Structure 1
Amino acid sequence: MSAKKNPEEFYKKLKEQLADTSTWPSEYLYKFIIPSENKKIAKLEQLFDNMGAVIETKTSSKGKYTSVSVNVKMNSPEAVVEKYIEVGKKIEGVMSL
């Protein structure tokens, strides 16, 4: 996912796709690539704290980046998009997939 060029349009389209393809509330799998810094990884995990999320991390072969998969039950497509926006604002260098 790349929301760099036109984030409003990107998120609008994502909401529509999620509404059309899932029944809500629903499980959603977030995938992020983040620099391998303990503070940033901990902050990302903290953003999903108390949501019942299952979080898996895997460090890249050179150790520079960490992929983070977050499987969590979300209430609506709007909630999914709000979480993407929150993560993007609070963690520098994160990439959403």
Structure 2
Amino acid sequence: MINISEPHENINPDDFYASLKEKLEATHNFPEDYLFKFILTNEDSRHTEIYRIFDGIKFTLNTRESKNGKYSAISISAFVLDADQVIRIYKEVGQIPGVMML
């Protein structure tokens, strides 16, 4: 698992994702199950948006609510073909407001 967060404002997103691709390819043997972890506000619509991104991909899901119920942690183990697919998923999830990617 590689820790990912939104690229910093002063880092070119293309450079960030190129570096991420290199790290993924160096540490993973694709195709394989890849673990995605997200933290988001506990709104059903946000959960649904994330689940839609994984439509057509074989995955298992684990969710956990925070003590106060305001946030959810979602872990998704998805079968991915390559680093490019992992990056596409991160980019799509990154478009959802209020989601932190780990």
Gaps in structure 1 of 5+ consecutive residues: none
Q: Partners in 2 of 1:4 and 1:17 — Cα distance?
A: 15
Are 1:86 and 2:89 matched, yes or no?
Answer: no
1:46 to partner: Cα distance: 1.7
Judge conservation of contact 2:6–2:94 (CA < 8 Å) in 1: no
Q: Partners in 1 of 2:48 and 2:69 — Cα distance?
A: 16
Residue of structure 2 in register with 1:45 after alignment: 51
Judge conservation of contact 1:58–1:67 (CA < 8 Å) in 2: yes
Identity level (%): 35
TM-score, L = length of structure 1: 0.90
Are 1:11 and 2:14 matched, yes or no?
Answer: no
Residue of structure 1 in register with 2:100 after alignment: 95
**Within 5 A, what are the aligned runs for 1:66-85?**
66-85=72-91
Residues 24-75 of structure 1: per-residue CA shift (max 9 Å, x gap): 1111000000110011111211211221111111111111110010100111
RMSD, aligned α-carbons = 1.2
Gaps in structure 2 of 5+ consecutive residues: none
SS at match of 1:42: helix
Judge conservation of contact 1:32–1:67 (CA < 8 Å) in 2: yes
Judge conservation of contact 1:3–1:10 (CA < 8 Å) in 2: no
SS at match of 1:20: helix
Judge conservation of contact 1:3–1:11 (CA < 8 Å) in 2: no
Q: Which moved more, 1:1-10 or 1:57-66?
A: 1-10
